[in-house]
Amino acid sequence: MAATGRATPPLLRALNERTVLEAIRAGSPISRAEISRRSGISKPTVSLALQSLLDAGLVREAERGPDGPGYGAVYFEPVAEAAVVLGLDLGARFVRGAVCDLGGAIRARQDVELAVADAEDAIDAIGRLRDSLLDNAALDPTLVDSVIVGVPGVVADDGTLKLVENVAGLEGRRLADELHAALGLPVALENDINLAALGEQWQGVARGVSDFVFLSIGTGMGAGLVLGGELHRGRNGAAGELDFALGEFAEAVDPAAPQVAELARERTGLADPPALFAAARAGDQTAVAVVEEVARRIALHLAPVAAVADVELVVLGGGIGANGDLLLEPIARLLGEWLPFPPRIAVSTLGEAAVLTGAIAVGLQAALENVFTGRTAAPA
């Protein structure tokens, strides 16, 4: 009978190399002795792992130590440009893009407007944006590990897009396959609001928070739910589709921009949400009352989520949600009246960059693993 459960030398080497690489990523610039101390691996074994990582182009000798010149000591750092990630945010009238290296640094950032809000124009624009970003960053296109695209809809298990309302022609399409063919790169799609939640978790107001919801209120409304530190997509990938939550209410409860504009015209004569919020800030009491109604509508949608998931934090985003100076207090007050354990309410600190930041976070996590597992293909 063949022996089982025994670690083979290649497996041990891989484990040692991974441990050494993580120590360098966490503590660079770092010496061989410090890697050994932090990892608990002997210095000779660290040296073998280091040579493999150097040959694979994943680490290099650092020019300076942590406190300046090393005076003979050799320090190591990860090679940030061993691979890059392309993050994209596809909206109704724009595509936002950024290229990020393995160190988390943005190497290029650019937005393009869509002449027409349809799928064909979006695919063409993404191809042009990819080329422009890599040119501006002066990076070899072969360094792109993957492309992560935030899309305004639900990504089904079979790759088709569903519940897409603001980009014509996307409903039912396998956009990832089409973009893969157009770009020649691996492409992954994710709901844009889910990515916004992950962006806030990585670099925004939700850092260190395990249970929270990101609520985007703009031309439409949607939520990204993070539970136990992980994104919760639901059985159909449709978790957070709050537009459908209170559809049978007899009264109007939608706080999205078109409904807020209608409410503003009816009660104040103001033409749009920006004018409404500006009037409220100026002390117009009728406008203040309308904003209170908008806050009530938002709270009505948040209360079931907070009661069922018991989240610690609600992050507001989108054009309506960004008005935290007027909305946070009444929303918090209402949830405090309705719930035994109301969540904290905050406004997104990333703003329009939240989706793109989340796309980069997802791509970066995958790329860090991919460059390690693919290191044997790298030239020595």
Q: What is the pLDDT of residues 26-50, one digit of tens each?
A: 999 999 999 999 999 999 999 999 9
Cα–Cα distance between 100 and 379 in angstroms, integer? 23
What is the residue type of 300?
L
Q: What is the pLDDT of residue 33?
A: 92
**Judging by DSSP bridges, how do beta strands 84-90 and 144-151 pair with one another?**
parallel
Cα–Cα distance between 188 and 155 in angstroms, integer? 10
Is the pLDDT score of 178 beyond 50?
A: yes
Cα–Cα distance between 103 and 11 in angstroms, integer? 26
Is the pLDDT score of 73 beyond 60?
A: yes
How far are the Cα atoms of 209, 221, 334 from residue 216, in angstroms, in the given order?
18, 6, 19
* CATH number among 1.25.40.80, 3.40.50.720, 1.10.645.10, 3.30.420.40, domain 205-348: 3.30.420.40
Q: Give residues with Cβ within 8 angstroms of 85, minimum separation 6.
A: 99, 100, 101, 144, 145, 146, 147, 148, 360, 363, 364, 366, 367
Is the pLDDT score of 239 beyond 80?
A: yes
Give me the mean pLDDT over the 116-141 stretch: 91
Neighbouring-strand partners of residue 38: none
pTM reported for the whole predicted model: 0.89
Q: How many CA atoms lie within 13 A of 326 on its CB side?
A: 27
What is the residue type of 154?
V
Using an 8 Å Cβ cutoff, are 294 and 261 in contact? no
Q: What is the CB neighbour count within 10 angstroms for residue 76?
A: 24
Q: For residue 95, what are its two tokens?
A: 């595509």
Is the pLDDT score of 3 beyond 60?
A: no
Q: What is the pLDDT of residue 376?
A: 56
Least confident of 88-97, 162-171, 279-288, 369-378: 369-378
Neighbouring-strand partners of residue 190: 150
Cα–Cα distance between 349 and 353 in angstroms, integer? 9
Q: What is the pLDDT of residues 245-257, one digit of tens each?
A: 877 775 788 899 9
Using an 8 Å Cβ cutoff, are 146 and 185 in contact? yes
Is the pLDDT score of 1 beyond 70?
A: no
Q: What is the pLDDT of residue 70?
A: 54
Q: What is the pLDDT of residue 224?
A: 97
Q: What is the pLDDT of residue 166?
A: 80
Is the pLDDT score of 377 beyond 90?
A: no
Q: pLDDT band for position 361 (50/70/90)?
A: very high
* Class for the domain spanning 83-196+355-377: alpha beta
Give me the mean pLDDT over the 178-185 stretch: 92
Is the pLDDT score of 10 beyond 90?
A: no
Domain boundary assignment for the chain: 9-78, 83-196+355-377, 205-348
What is the residue type of 128?
R
Cα–Cα distance between 262 and 255 in angstroms, integer? 11
Do 205-348 and 9-78 have the same topology in CATH?
no
Q: Taking the domain 9-78, which CATH number applies? A: 1.10.10.10
Q: What is the pLDDT of residues 199-216, one digit of tens each?
A: 999 999 999 999 999 999
Mean pLDDT of the chain: 91
Phi, psi of 297 (to 5 degrees): -65, -40
Least confident of 12-21, 55-64, 115-124, 174-183: 115-124
Q: What is the CB neighbour count within 10 angstroms for residue 364?
A: 23
What is the residue type of 7?
A
**C-alpha 342: how far from its chain's center?**
25
Q: What is the pLDDT of residue 66?
A: 81
Residues shown for the chain: 380
Cα–Cα distance between 253 and 231 in angstroms, integer? 27
